[in-house]
Amino acid sequence: MARKNIDLKKKLTLVGGIVAAVLVIWGIVSLFGGRSSDLSEISATSITEQGQPHFAVINMYKITAEADALKGLTDQRKAYAEKLNAEATRREEQLMATKKEIESKQSVLSKEALQKKAGEYQKSLMDYQNDMSSKSSAIEKSYRETLQKVQADTLDEVISDIAKKKGVTIVLNSAQTILLNPALDITEDVIKVMNKRLPSVRMKTPEGF
C-alpha cells in the first residue's frame, strides 16, 4: 500500500504551466476592435522605435504564473488535488484496517470465509485505485479545458490587440528565442491587459467531486 500511495502522489504532483504549444505564432490576419480602453497605457511605438516593427516575444510561463485569472486557475487545480490526497489517505487507512482485521481472523475463520473476505478486500482495493485514477484524470481534464478556453476566448485576443497597436505581425514564445532584445518583450503588457479583461475564471468542477 505504501508504494501505491507514493505512486498516487506522483500522479497528483502539480506543475503550473500553460497547455499551449511552446512556439506561439500569430499572423495578424483579422484584428479585433472595440477594446481600446484597456490598452490606453500600452505604448504604440516602443518596438517600432527600436527598428523591429514586425516581431515581438512573450513569456508564456510568466503569463501563466502572474496573470490573475491563470494564477487563480492553478490554485483551484491545486485545491482539488489536495482534496483528493486527503480522500486517498482516509481510504487507505480504511483498507489497511480491513486487511489487519482479516489477518487477525485467519486462525478462526474457515477457508471459504477467509477467501470471501480476501476477495472483498481485493475488490475494495481495486475500486479505490480506479476511483483515485479517475478523479485525478478528471482534475487534469477540467483544468486543461478551462485553460484552453481562456486562451481561445481572451489571451489570443489580448496578444492580437497589443500586437496591432505596436505594429507587430508575428509573436514568438521567448522560450524559443536565443537572442532577445528586451524592447521586443510584451509579456508585461499582456499580463496588464489580461488582468483587466479577465480578472478571474472558475474551473469547472471535475467529475467525481
What share of residues in the chain are helix, strand, coil (percent, to 5)?
A: 65, 5, 30
* Buried b or exposed e, range 80-103, using 16+ CB within 10 angstroms: bbeebbebbeebbeebeeebeeee
For a pLDDT cut of 70, what percent of the chain falls above it?
A: 78
Rg (CA), the chain: 25
d(CA 87, CA 168): 50
Domain ranges of the chain: 2-78+137-197
Helix (H) or strand (E) holding 170: strand 170-173
Geometric angle at alpha carbon 79, from 75 and 80, rounded to 5°:
120
pLDDT at 96: 95
The confidence band for 29, taking pLDDT boundaries of 50, 70 and 90, is very low
Amino acid at 149: K
pLDDT reading at 11 higher than 90: no
Return the C-alpha cell found at 198: 479577465
Contact criterion met (CB below 8 Å) for 20 and 60: yes
Tell the residue number behind the cell numbers 501563466, with chain if given: 64
CA distances from 181 to 105, 175, 186 (A): 73, 13, 11
90 in helix, strand or coil? helix
Geometric angle at alpha carbon 20, from 181 and 167, rounded to 5°:
40
Contact criterion met (CB below 8 Å) for 166 and 52: no
4 in helix, strand or coil? helix
Mean pLDDT score of the chain, rounded to an integer?
81
pLDDT at 184: 87
pLDDT greater at residue 67 or residue 183: 67
pLDDT at 180: 73
pLDDT tens for each residue of 76-103:
999 999 999 999 999 999 999 999 999 9
Lowest mean pLDDT among 46-60, 77-91, 165-179: 46-60
